[in-house]
Copies of this chain bind each other. A is one copy, B any other.
Amino acid sequence: METLKTRRTIRKYSARDISQELLDELLECACRASTVGNMQAYSVVVTRDPARKQQLAPAHFNQPMVTQAPVVLTFCVDLRRFSRWCELRQATPGYGNMEWFVTGAIDCSLAAQTFCVAAEEAGLGICYLGTTTYNPQQIIDTLHLPRLVFPLITITVGWPAEQPSQPDRLPLAAIVHEEDYHDYTPADIDRYYAYKESLPENQGYVKENAKQTLAQVFTDVRYTASDARSMSVALVEAMRRQGFCD
Interface residues of A (CB under 8 A from B): 1, 4-5, 7, 9, 24-25, 27-29, 31-34, 36-40, 42-49, 52, 76, 80-82, 84-86, 88-95, 97-100, 102-103, 105-106, 109-110, 112-114, 116-118, 121-122, 126-128, 130, 133-134, 143-146, 149, 152-153, 167-170, 172, 174-181, 183-184, 186, 189-190, 192-193, 212-216, 218-220, 222-226, 228-229, 231-232, 235-236
B105 & A46 in contact (Cβ 8 Å cutoff): no
Quote the shortest CB–CB distance from A147 to chain B (angstroms): 10
User: CA separation between A112 and B190, bound complex, in Å?
Assistant: 26
As for how many copies of this chain the complex holds, the number is 2
Query: A90 is contacted by which of B24, B97, B216 (Cβ under 8 Å)?
Result: B216
Closest to A142 in B: B180
User: CA separation between A174 and B49, bound complex, in Å?
Assistant: 21
Considering residues A1, A34, A37, A98, which has the most beta carbons from chain B within 10 angstroms of its beta carbon? A34
A215 & B86 in contact (Cβ 8 Å cutoff): yes
- The verdict on A43 contacting B181 (CB below 8 Å), with A31-B170, A34-B128, A99-B228 known, is yes
B175 & A31 in contact (Cβ 8 Å cutoff): yes
B91 & A219 in contact (Cβ 8 Å cutoff): yes
CB-CB < 8 A to A95: which residues of B? Answer: 223, 225, 228
- The verdict on A181 contacting B32 (CB below 8 Å), with A91-B219, A121-B1, A175-B40 known, is no
Closest to A212 in B: B90
CB-CB < 8 A to A224: which residues of B? Answer: 94
